[in-house]
Amino acid sequence: MNNNQNILIIGAGLCGSLLALRMAQRGFQVTLVEKRPDLRKVTQDAGRSINLALSDRGLRGLRLVGVEEEAKKLCIPMNGRMIHDSKGNTFLSPYSGRKDEYINSISRPGLNMLLLDEVEKMPNVQLIFNHACETVDLENASATFRNYNSKEKKTISADAIFGTDGAGSAVRKSMFESHKPAGRTGGFLFSFSQQWLSHGYKELEIPAAENNSYRTYKNALHIWPRGEDMLIALPNLDGSFTVTLFLPYENSDYCFANLTSPKMVHEYFNKEFPDVVEMIPSLAEEFFGNPTGPLGTVKCSPWNSFGKVLLMGDAAHAIVPFYGQGMNASFEDVVVFDDLIENYFPSPTSPPLGGGWEGLFKEYEALRKKDTDAIADLAVDNFHEMKEHTAMEIFQKKRKLETAFEAEFPEDYYSKYSLVTFKESITYSEALKRGRAQDKAILNLLDDGKINEEMSLKEKLELVKKATEAILHDDEVAFG
Amino acid sequence: MNNNQNILIIGAGLCGSLLALRMAQRGFQVTLVEKRPDLRKVTQDAGRSINLALSDRGLRGLRLVGVEEEAKKLCIPMNGRMIHDSKGNTFLSPYSGRKDEYINSISRPGLNMLLLDEVEKMPNVQLIFNHACETVDLENASATFRNYNSKEKKTISADAIFGTDGAGSAVRKSMFESHKPAGRTGGFLFSFSQQWLSHGYKELEIPAAENNSYRTYKNALHIWPRGEDMLIALPNLDGSFTVTLFLPYENSDYCFANLTSPKMVHEYFNKEFPDVVEMIPSLAEEFFGNPTGPLGTVKCSPWNSFGKVLLMGDAAHAIVPFYGQGMNASFEDVVVFDDLIENYFPSPTSPPLGGGWEGLFKEYEALRKKDTDAIADLAVDNFHEMKEHTAMEIFQKKRKLETAFEAEFPEDYYSKYSLVTFKESITYSEALKRGRAQDKAILNLLDDGKINEEMSLKEKLELVKKATEAILHDDEVAFG
């Protein structure tokens, strides 16, 4: 019998596995429960996003638990966006002017398996699969699960519960339903939002060519921007690409509501993405066989109930995939949380300080929520940028200028994309504020003709910096 | 038997009553169902907001159904904000520099009774009280109600259903629960948000003095701004004022969590609102007798389901009370809807045009939602402005300048407040865009010392207009 704090983590996806591993490394007694079967034993997830973009914030989380090097073996570096225009022309738009900055394509199940393998090596973790969370007793920190096979119910109590059960979180649902605006006895005010884009997504596959070679350039995130709709593709280690189509549900020339036959799907792809058709041999079968997924943003507050239960990762802040930051933000959650924990639990057996779990949960949210709100908003912005702006001249000019700044003055300039993706030392909310001001400065300087070809790059940079500071100052005066 | 379109309206508050009256005037067959008893026969609503601010957008709705003059008899004009500082000094900050622009304090139940009396005069309206909506069959346009007295259930079908059942709408709840992200058969994506302020509110009363006279200046909205907390008071016809305290729930020197005894309540009021204490003889009794209400913003989309059921008023867009626009926005909903209806139903018996109810509902939301989103955001902004800024020097300077502009150049300048409150010819979203740009322009010109006393008022106005246009232009280039 030990007197360690008992931790129950609900959801053994990427965030839950990383958190379990870290908490176990710190010596807590951890129970990690997952609704689905063990993905190391059962193949699943047909049609769900099977690769993801891993960048600096996510790598920092993996470094924290000592698996960064192992994870890198699963990575394919992507140096930029390969833009495919409607005539089949391509050009590469680098993610950064600095040579060492790139993002990585990584297999979601591959990375999850790696983390679960590490979790399983820890003697102080109990790992339970096939148990779906049905209800959470928020005030008493216990949760009831249903065994997928036997249908039996099982209740687990803990000192603290973490809901890392993803965008459709059952733990968050318990909080939503405990919401009682008037009176508030036994209830609390739970702010909540779910916002859906008018677009859905569909996954398709470009299979590997002979000898696991790639049918198009390997080290890029491919984009076919078409205004209202967009196709992207990320490489996999086996030579294939996972392709995702983003398309309006309805009210568009081409939309999920009217692409109802193989003939129409082929017509649409031949017209919009002629260079892709030949690379997807099973186009129509996949289009009609794979589910159509929605694209939603979820925000909520407070993340904790009664100082007993805390939401983390997608359960607390699901975002749309257009900044490639979903997993990275969740891993950064664990890093931020881990930075604080010693002030409350110097060791897992010592008496809690500073209000214990409740104090810790509140400080964590006070520190973190503005940043997950920021990346949620940035991801929606990027949806519009990717499908529309990447094909527009003024945005291409801006991108070119920023890439030149980063190449020539690597210490002095970070684009909004670089701030978000590569500059882990600043928060998402700072990246949003500075990044948007920079974008506004450059677009207006270009629009006003104030940046011209007689100027040196250094002069252009000074102009952009000055205009950015003026914008930040004016906003500060007006909005505080 | 007639072949008129049958309309079911759920909720006979201000919005539902106005809508029922208008639809009946147009000849539709209307059933109006209310959860509560008939408020003309039973006194209720203790501790709920009993007076409201009625301004131009709301009056336009009342004019549409021909009750504007009757309603005005219930009104007390309020010409400005009477600011009470912590020493008991007061000064009046006019709502506008134009003499004919003011807002009105009006009794909520008084206005509701007036509308219900008019509704009851219409032969084509059936009015049912004491029936609470339990479920709505969205696809088939029928709703089931429970009789409050007999507990019997009753199902009513219609060609179209309107949910005007307020911020806690049961109709909206049916839509929320029909939400099915994946697959979508029989379901739909329902974007929804509820956001709570960290403050709650408590109603108190300044009773009338002798002979129904007023204990403080009658024709103003009184404000005691104190940074984190705030007291306001609106006059009633009987000489009393309805007072509302806005206070944090917790984590503040004074908050609902720690004002737990009559002694503490008196200590708090004596310290913060010394000039009020003597005017509220039953302070502690009311403080502990009246409920604490939450302050929330609700947004959702789509407002209609299956072209059969439409949300209107607070059910579609509940807002916080700090712009005095809740009722006005709901009445404007009816005006906007009524403007469109003839394109779809030239008469209630003619065959529907343009997609009938579904076409109408979609056009209505496409036109209206951006504006109710805007007033929701403006109302939250004004919460901060009222409790903090009204006491800050730079904001007082701005307000003075704007009042002078409006007095001297009444056709050339409208402050953000005037745009929202008195300029019904422009939409809330336009008012937000232009009003925020003006505020930013003036605050920055003041902060930079660019407005000085040597300049004529005309020169100052030109400077503000130029800076405003520059801000709008720069935003347009950067954000479209």
Chain B residue with minimal CA distance to A297?
A: B191
The answer to whether the CB of A401 falls within 8 A of the CB of A92 is no
* Burial environment of residue A81 by CB neighbours within 10 A (0 to 12, 13 to 18, 19 or more): buried
- Name which of A65, A172, A80 is nearest A111 in CA terms: A65
The answer to whether the CB of B164 falls within 8 A of the CB of B312 is yes
| A50 token code pair | 């099977």
The answer to whether the CB of A199 falls within 8 A of the CB of A247 is yes
What does the DSSP 8-state code read for residue B39?
A: T
Catalogue the long-range contacts made by A273-277 (C-beta closer than 8 Å, 24 or more residues apart). A273/A84, A273/A224, A273/A226, A273/A231, A274/A86, A274/A88, A275/A84, A275/A88, A276/A84, A276/A206, A276/A224, A276/A231, A276/A243
User: Residue A296 is nearest to which of B181, B299, B477, comparing CB atoms?
Assistant: B181
* CA pair distance B216, B231, nearest whole angstrom: 14
Chain B residue with minimal CA distance to A470?
A: B444
Q: Which residues of B touch A439 (CB under 8 A)?
A: 478
3-state helix, strand, coil in chain A (%, to 5): 40, 25, 35
* CA pair distance A84, A225, nearest whole angstrom: 7
How many Å lie between the alpha carbon of B380 and the closest alpha carbon of chain A?
Answer: 13
pLDDT along chain B (480 residues), means of 10: 81 98 97 96 66 97 98 97 91 90 96 97 98 96 97 97 97 90 63 95 95 96 91 95 95 92 96 94 95 95 96 98 96 98 92 94 98 98 79 86 94 96 97 97 95 94 98 92
| Contact check, Cβ <8 Å, B191/A189 | no
- Which residue, among B300, B474, B475, B476, would best test binding to A if mutated, counting the most A CBs under 10 Å from its CB? B474
Distant-in-sequence, close-in-space partners of B371: CB < 8 Å, separation ≥ 6: B329, B332, B427, B428, B429
Residue with tokens 């600095």: A98
Map residue A279 onto helix, strand or coil: coil
| Contact check, Cβ <8 Å, B477/A444 | yes
CA distance to B26, B107, B283, per residue, from B214 (Å): 42, 16, 18
pLDDT in tens, A21-33: 999 999 999 999 9
Angle (CA) B11-B14-B15 rounded to 5° is 70
| Contact check, Cβ <8 Å, A443/B296 | no
- Name which of A134, A130, A125 is nearest A8 in CA terms: A125
Which of the residue ranges A49-53, A256-260, B143-147, B183-187 would you say has the lowest mean pLDDT? B183-187
Confidence (pLDDT) at A182: 44
- Name which of A230, A187, A235, A186 is nearest A207 in CA terms: A235
Structural domains of chain B, with CATH: 6-73+106-193+297-369 (3.50.50.60), 195-294 (3.30.9.30), 392-479 (no CATH)
The answer to whether the CB of B188 falls within 8 A of the CB of B180 is yes
C-alpha atoms less than 13 angstroms from C-alpha of A211 in its C-beta half-sphere? 0
Chain A residue with minimal CA distance to B472?
A: A444
* CA pair distance A442, A455, nearest whole angstrom: 15
- 3-state per-residue secondary structure call for B183-238: CCCCCECCEEEEEEEEEEEEEEEECCCHHHCCCCCCCCEEEEEECCEEEEEEECCC
pLDDT in tens, A417-469: 999 999 999 999 999 999 999 999 999 999 999 998 899 999 999 999 999 99
Q: What percent of chain A has pLDDT over 90?
A: 86
The answer to whether the CB of A165 falls within 8 A of the CB of A14 is no
Angle (CA) B196-B199-B204 rounded to 5° is 125
Q: Kindly report the backbone phi and psi dihedral angles of residue A40, in degrees, each rounded to the nearest multiple of 5, phi listed first.
A: -80, -15
How many Å lie between the alpha carbon of B55 and the closest alpha carbon of chain A?
Answer: 27
The answer to whether the CB of B152 falls within 8 A of the CB of B170 is no
| Contact check, Cβ <8 Å, B478/A196 | no
Chain B residue with minimal CA distance to A447?
A: B477
Q: Which residues of B touch A437 (CB under 8 A)?
A: none
| B78 token code pair | 């309020």
- Which residue, among B195, B199, B369, would best test binding to A if mutated, counting the most A CBs under 10 Å from its CB? B195
3-state helix, strand, coil in chain B (%, to 5): 40, 25, 35
Confidence (pLDDT) at B228: 87
The answer to whether the CB of B143 falls within 8 A of the CB of B159 is no
Q: Which residues of A touch B182 (CB under 8 A)?
A: 291-294
| A324 token code pair | 């490639």
| Contact check, Cβ <8 Å, A189/B196 | yes
- Name which of B159, B218, B174, B168 is nearest B194 in CA terms: B168
pLDDT in tens, A57-93: 999 999 999 999 999 999 999 999 999 988 889 999 8
* CA pair distance A241, A254, nearest whole angstrom: 24
| Contact check, Cβ <8 Å, B296/A194 | no
ipTM: 0.91
Which of the residue ranges A144-153, A348-357, B292-301, B434-443 would you say has the lowest mean pLDDT? A348-357
| A211 token code pair | 């000898």
How many Å lie between the alpha carbon of A334 and the closest alpha carbon of chain B?
Answer: 26
- What confidence tier does A388 reach under pLDDT thresholds 50, 70, 90? confident
Confidence (pLDDT) at B86: 86
Averaged pLDDT, A368-384: 95
Which of the residue ranges A46-55, A139-148, A227-236, B445-454 would you say has the lowest mean pLDDT? A46-55
CB atoms within 10 A of CB B260: 10
The answer to whether the CB of A181 falls within 8 A of the CB of B294 is yes
pLDDT for residue A219 is more than 50: yes
Give me the torsion for CA of B458, B463, B468, B469, rounded to 10°.
100
Mean pLDDT score of chain A: 93
Averaged pLDDT, A132-145: 97
Crossing angle of the two packed helices A108-120 and A14-25, in degrees rounded to 10:
20
Length of chain B: 480
Q: Which residues of B touch A183 (CB under 8 A)?
A: 291
The answer to whether the CB of A2 falls within 8 A of the CB of A93 is no
| Contact check, Cβ <8 Å, B291/A182 | yes
Q: Which residues of B touch A168 (CB under 8 A)?
A: 181
* CA pair distance A220, A232, nearest whole angstrom: 10
How many Å lie between the alpha carbon of A377 and the closest alpha carbon of chain B?
Answer: 14
User: Buried b vs exposed e over A342-380: b needs ≥16 C-beta within 10 Å?
Assistant: eebbeebeeeeeeebbbbbbbbbbeebbebbbbbbbbbb
The answer to whether the CB of B331 falls within 8 A of the CB of B65 is no
Chain A residue with minimal CA distance to B475?
A: A440
Confidence (pLDDT) at B452: 87
Q: Which residues of B touch A447 (CB under 8 A)?
A: 477
Map residue B335 onto helix, strand or coil: helix
User: Residue A447 is nearest to which of B168, B440, B477, comparing CB atoms?
Assistant: B477
Length of chain A: 480
Give me the torsion for CA of A358, A364, A366, A371, rounded to 10°.
-150
Q: Which residues of A touch B184 (CB under 8 A)?
A: 292
Rg of chain B on CA atoms, in Å: 24
User: Buried b vs exposed e over B140-169: b needs ≥16 C-beta within 10 Å?
Assistant: ebbbebbeeeeeeeeebebbbbbbbbbbeb
